[in-house]
Every structure is written in structure tokens, then in C-alpha cells.
């Protein structure tokens, strides 16, 4: 399967590296290059892969599926919806160094980085980022377009709703939930439910701001 990566920034290059590692391990999928609307990147080569040009140019390239490699959850969601509406197919990037229990379900368009652990009974939505070295314990639910940042730790039966961001090194204790499009800051410890549309910081985590940012059309 020939894969085009939407986004050629740092996150896009991480996704490219994951796909290259998959190919090295005998996988049938491989990256053919990047798409990015930033004109300054066009024609560059990153990890040996060309930045072909803006996303609209993809029809001139031979490929079988896309993966959206953009760290911002709302932007990633917008592209996923727009490209889905245009009939595009998506695939996953799953680093060979990640460990997933056999019964874990992962939606299309998701990225699972090196060192990630996902335990039994967990469900991961589509267009999700599970970033480097994070751990997802048993029976967690990760909503569509969410991002669990490097080194974050989720206890058992945690629910992360659509579009939520769990910051680097944050901890969500067992049974807690984080609402849709909320942000848990780096290093925070969530010991109670976090409502939707807020930013929570500290240990224990406390809400400091509410915001209107959401994934609604």
C-alpha cells in the first residue's frame, strides 16, 4: 500500500519514520511522500521522501491511502472530515516497537508511536495520536481525534473523549474521564472527571480556563 502523509512538519516526519520502520520489518505499506500547503516546503526531501506540494495536488500522485500527520487536534479533525467527504481512504501508522494487546481496536488514520503500550480491552478511535512512550491501561476508551502526548499514563477504565489532549507526562487515574476537546497540561495528575471544553493543570488537576474550541461543524 502506497501511503501519502498529509503534513510535513516534525510530526509528519515522525509518522514517516514509523512507516519506514514498518516497511523494514516486512510490512506491505510504505510512504511515497508528503503533502503540505506550506509552499516553503514544496520540493524538499525529508527522510528521503519528497514534499510533493499542497494537499490539492494529490490526484497527480500514485497512492492508495492517506494518513494525516498534524499535531493540532482540531486541524487534524478538519482535514480528516474534508478528505473523508471526498472519498479518501485512510490507514494507520503502527511502530513495530509499540505493544498492543491482541483485542485492542484502533480506528483508521491513527498513529501509534514507538514505546506505546495499550492493554487489553482498550478501544482507540480514528485519527488519534498515541505519542511516544505513552501507556493506555485496560479497557480505556480514546475518542476520535484525541492526542495522548509522549510519556502520558492512563489508568484502567479511563475515558478520553473526542478531540481531547492529554499533555506530556500527564497521569489520568483509573476510572476518570476527560471531556471532549479539553486539554490536560503536561505533568498534571487527573484524579477526578474533567468536563468538556476546559484546560486543567496541576497535581491534582484543576480547571483554570474554559474555551469555546470544539470539533463541531
138 part of the active site: yes
Delimit the CATH 3.40.50.20 region(s) of the chain: 2-91
CB burial of 116-137 (b: ≥16 within 10 Å; e: otherwise) equals bbbbebbbbbbbbbbbbbbbbb
Percent of the chain with pLDDT over 90: 93
The arrangement of secondary structure in 94-210, i.e. its CATH architecture, is: 3 Solenoid (2.160)
pLDDT digits (tens, 9 = 90+) for 34-77: 999 999 999 999 999 999 999 999 999 999 999 999 999 999 99
Q: Which of 214, 190, 197 is nearest to 206 (CA)?
A: 190
**pLDDT of 216 above 50:** no
Q: How far apart are CA 77 and CA 69, in angstroms?
A: 11
Read off the pTM: 0.94
41 vs 36, 38, 44, 45, 66, CA distance in Å? 7, 6, 6, 9, 19
pLDDT digits (tens, 9 = 90+) for 97-121: 999 999 999 999 999 999 999 999 9
Q: 2-91: which CATH number, 3.40.50.10490, 3.90.1300.10, 3.30.1050.10, 3.40.50.20?
A: 3.40.50.20
Q: Can you give the C-alpha Rg of the chain in angstroms?
A: 17
Delimit the CATH 2.160.10.10 region(s) of the chain: 94-210
Q: Which of 11, 45, 95, 138 is catalytic?
A: 138
Amino acid at each position: 500500500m502506497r501511503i501519502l502523509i498529509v503534513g510535513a512538519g516534525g510530526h509528519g516526519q515522525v509518522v514517516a519514520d514509523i512507516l519506514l520502520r514498518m516497511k523494514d520489518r516486512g510490512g506491505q505499506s510504505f510512504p511515497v511522500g508528503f503533502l503540505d500547503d506550506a509552499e516553503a516546503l514544496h520540493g524538499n526531501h525529508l527522510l528521503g521522501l519528497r514534499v510533493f506540494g499542497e494537499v490539492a495536488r494529490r490526484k497527480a500522485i500514485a497512492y492508495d491511502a492517506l494518513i494525516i500527520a498534524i499535531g493540532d487536534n482540531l486541524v487534524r479533525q478538519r482535514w480528516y472530515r474534508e478528505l473523508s467527504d471526498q472519498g479518501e481512504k485512510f490507514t494507520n501508522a503502527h511502530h513495530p516497537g509499540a505493544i498492543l494487546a491482541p483485542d485492542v481496536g484502533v480506528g483508521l488514520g491513527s498513529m501509534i508511536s514507538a514505546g506505546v503500550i495499550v492493554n487489553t480491552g482498550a478501544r482507540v478511535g480514528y485519527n488519534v495520536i498515541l505519542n511516544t512512550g505513552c501507556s493506555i491501561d485496560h479497557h480505556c476508551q480514546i475518542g476520535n481525534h484525541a492526542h495522548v502526548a509522549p510519556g502520558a499514563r492512563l489508568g484502567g477504565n479511563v475515558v478520553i473523549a473526542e478531540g481531547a489532549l492529554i499533555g506530556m507526562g500527564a497521569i489520568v487515574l483509573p476510572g476518570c474521564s476527560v471531556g471532549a476537546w479539553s486539554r490536560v497540561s503536561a505533568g498534571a495528575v487527573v484524579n477526578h472527571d474533567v468536563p468538556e471544553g476546559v484546560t486543567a493543570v496541576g497535581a491534582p488537576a484543576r480547571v483554570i480556563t474554559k474555551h469555546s474550541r470544539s470539533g463541531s461543524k
